[in-house]
Amino acid sequence: MTDSSVLDLAPVVPVVVVEDVADAVPLARALVAGGLRAIEVTLRTPAALDAIRAVADEVPDAVVGAGTVISPQNVADSVAAGARFLVSPGWTDTLLDAMKESGVPFLPGVSTTSEVVALLERGVSEMKFFPAEAAGGVPYLKSLAGPLPQARFCPTGGVSLGSAPSYLALKNVGCVGGSWMLPADAVAARDWARIETLAREAAGLK
């Protein structure tokens, strides 16, 4: 991975919620085997930081990052656990400063034109568009490409296997984030082979 971009690792970044740290490594191995190297582990569960640490330690081909980063403490804890990129649902000046100072690539979340302009003003041109479907989806991002061509996005939130290609066809979209390759029943059953198959299908999207 370059120091500058999360957006070019894969067309799809799986958004992972880990309830049981024991699932983290086999799940990550299944995603990597399917071609999805960049894995966003959300900080929504008590197991999240330990999951990031386990994947960083035991799955060398994975590029594990932290999602739902909403505070400087989240930034510090995630980087200490081995996160190689950071993703936030939104941003403040305080959070942005912490992410910038972390030394790892990051995608601050935006859902409005003003937020995009504010980030460009701060020297940030790569962003998460969230919640993508609820905030206007493909038409909204397409409309931003004209006045703000320097901004690139990873739309996340409601993106599916069916809608992902429409996002990826946009010139200002580098990748999409989603969890459809991680159906709850497959994770509960520890059906890593099924997850690998779904990951391979996602990795093949253009």
What's the rounded mean pLDDT across residues 47-71? 98
pLDDT band at 5 (very low <50, low <70, confident <90, very high): confident
pLDDT, position 100: 97
H/E segment holding residue 28 = helix 24-33
1 pLDDT higher than 60? no
CA-based Rg of the chain, rounded to a whole angstrom? Answer: 16
Residue 196 designated active-site: no
pTM of the model: 0.96
Q: Tell me what the pLDDT averaged over the chain comes to.
A: 96
pLDDT digits (tens, 9 = 90+) for 7-55: 888 899 999 999 999 999 999 999 999 999 999 999 999 999 999 999 9
H/E segment holding residue 15 = strand 12-16
Q: Of residues 19, 101, 121, 128, which has the active-site annotation? A: 128
Q: Of residues 19, 40, 121, 196, which has the active-site annotation? A: 40
Residue 142 designated active-site: no
